[in-house]
Each structure stands twice: as structure tokens, then as C-alpha cells.
């Protein structure tokens, strides 16, 4: 087998059949503007409410990290969660963003993040490690429409592209779920405790169709308790 063909097989992997990712993690081991995972959502519709939950692990404190990126043909930042320099967080909806301050930010530990948005009021909120942010207004009366491109590992400055090393993700991610509704505080707290009572109906980590591109590793999560 030629080396070029072998490298293509190693660094580009496609699962047309949904995979049960329970107990697994996606690792982005180097800073890169080429490594990413593209997720195929379970539905394609106009969204008037969203909840996205992700667990991430990193040792980067001053680098901007893209935790979750959803782009549409009309908006590169359709729904995006960033963890910024110094631990601030940002949420973008329809290319408009807002900061959230004073939320937990742990190095070399798992952080659980959930972002919610309700178009009817515009109220947007982040939860990190069980702590809720203030609710802030963003894109009231708006929607997320068009075929979504959902990517882990990179921020999409263009639809399925426009990647930049500056805000790429470097670390581990797991338990990625997305719903087309705003989860209740009790449901979010359950996720924060490591439980998922109702898996995402848009993105379901337990039944995930995805493709890996460039240097990405999927492994069983390490058991840190012996």
C-alpha cells in the first residue's frame, strides 16, 4: 500500500452508520487549522430554540478555544460556543455574540458546558460545571435556518471552512448533545453530574454519525480513578 493512501486512511475517517460514542472521547492533540470532526445532525429544520452540551478537557488557559461550531449557509457563526482568554465564555447566534463572565474554568479537569437560546425572548444562558450565568438577550425573534454544518475542533469563519489556528480547539471533548428546545435547569444539572436523561434529538453522542479530518484521535475515556 502506498504511503499516501495509508495516511489518507489514518487521517480521514468516515462513519456512515451512527456510532455509540458512550465512554469515548475525541482528542485534538495538537494546535491545527486542519483537524476537525464534522457531525451529521439527526434533523434539518429551522431552529427557534437550542440547547448544546459538551464536556471538554484542556490545559490551555490563555488560548481562545472553539467548543462547538454550527454554521449555516447564511451565517458562519450560526450557534457557536467559545471559551476565551482567561476563562471568559462567548456565545454567537446568527453572527452576533455576547460575553459571559465569572464562570468556572478548570485546567486539566473535565468541564461541563451547556448553552441555551430561546428565540421567543432572545434569552441566552451558559452553564459551566453546575453554575449558571446571567441570562442575556441575543437575536430575539430570530432563527437558525439552512442546512447546519456542525464541527468540533475548529471555528467556521465560512460554511464548512475558514479555519484559523488562533481559535482552534486543542484538548479532549466528549458527551456532545444538541436539542431543539431549552432544557430545564434540572435536566442541565443532571448533565453536569454525568447523567443524560434524554439524549439530544439533533446531536446524540450515543448515536453519532461523523467524519474525522487530519490529526484527530477517538479513544476510550481514561479512568482517572483507580
In a domain, 9, yes or no: no
61: confidence class by pLDDT, cuts 50, 70, 90: confident
Give the count of domains, the chain: 1
First to last CA, the chain: 41
The confidence band for 174, taking pLDDT boundaries of 50, 70 and 90, is very high
Mean of pLDDT values over 164-179: 96
Check which CATH number belongs to the domain holding 199 and give it. 2.60.120.200
8 inside domain: no
Grid coordinates belonging to 179: 436539542
**Position 81 in a domain:** yes
User: Exposed, middle or buried, 146 (CB in 10 Å: 0-12/13-18/19+)?
Assistant: middle
Supply the pLDDT for residue 107.
93
Q: Is 23 left (phi over 0), alpha (psi -120 to 50) or beta?
A: left
Domain that holds residue 157: 35-220
Residue 186, pLDDT > 80, answer: yes
Note the pLDDT tens digit of each residue in 28-48. 999 999 999 999 999 889 999
pLDDT in tens, 73-91: 999 999 999 998 777 999 9
* 7 found inside a domain: no
How far is it, in rounded angstroms, from Cα 36 to Cα 20? 19
pLDDT at 100: 97
Residue 16 inside a domain? The answer is no
CA distance 186 to 33: 37
pTM over 0.85: yes
Kindly give the residue spans of alpha helices, DSSP state H, lying in the chain.
3-11, 185-192
Q: Quick check: is 27 in a domain?
A: no
The per-residue pLDDT for 226 is 64
Mean pLDDT of 178-190: 97
Domain-embedded: residue 21: no
Could you tell me what percent of the chain has a pLDDT over 90?
Answer: 83
Whether the per-residue pLDDT at 13 is higher than 70: the answer is no
Q: Please list, in sequence order, all residues whose beta carbon lies within 8 angstroms of the beta carbon of residue 60, skipping any fewer than 6 positions away.
A: 107, 170, 171
Residue 225 within a domain = no
Is the distance from CB of 210 to CB of 26 less than 8 angstroms? no
C-alpha grid cell for residue 143?
Answer: 432563527
Report how far residue 148's alpha carbon sits from residue 72's, in angstroms, rounded to the nearest whole number.
5
Amino acid at each position: 500500500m502506498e504511503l499516501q493512501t495509508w495516511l489518507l486512511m489514518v487521517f480521514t475517517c468516515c462513519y456512515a452508520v451512527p456510532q455509540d460514542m458512550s465512554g469515548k472521547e475525541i482528542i485534538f492533540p495538537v494546535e491545527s487549522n486542519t483537524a476537525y470532526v464534522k457531525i451529521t445532525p439527526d434533523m434539518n429544520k429551522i431552529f427557534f430554540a437550542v440547547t448544546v452540551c459538551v464536556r471538554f478537557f484542556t490545559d490551555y488557559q490563555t488560548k481562545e478555544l472553539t467548543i462547538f461550531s454550527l454554521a449555516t449557509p447564511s451565517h458562519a457563526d450560526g450557534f457557536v460556543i467559545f471559551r476565551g482568554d482567561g476563562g471568559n465564555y462567548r456565545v454567537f447566534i446568527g453572527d452576533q455574540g455576547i460575553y459571559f463572565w465569572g464562570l468556572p474554568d478548570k485546567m486539566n479537569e473535565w468541564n461541563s458546558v451547556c448553552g441555551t437560546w430561546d428565540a421567543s425572548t432572545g434569552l441566552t444562558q451558559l452553564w459551566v460545571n453546575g453554575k449558571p450565568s446571567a441570562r442575556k438577550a441575543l437575536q430575539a425573534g430570530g432563527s437558525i435556518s439552512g442546512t447546519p454544518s456542525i464541527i468540533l475542533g475548529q471555528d467556521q469563519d465560512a460554511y464548512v471552512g475558514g479555519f484559523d489556528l488562533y481559535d482552534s480547539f486543542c484538548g479532549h471533548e466528549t458527551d456532545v448533545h444538541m436539542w431543539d428546545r431549552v432544557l430545564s435547569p434540572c435536566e442541565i444539572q443532571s448533565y453536569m453530574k454525568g447523567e443524560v436523561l434524554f439524549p439530544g434529538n439533533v446531536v446524540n453522542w450515543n448515536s453519532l454519525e461523523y467524519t474525522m479530518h487530519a490529526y484527530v484521535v477517538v479513544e476510550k475515556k481514561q479512568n482517572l480513578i483507580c
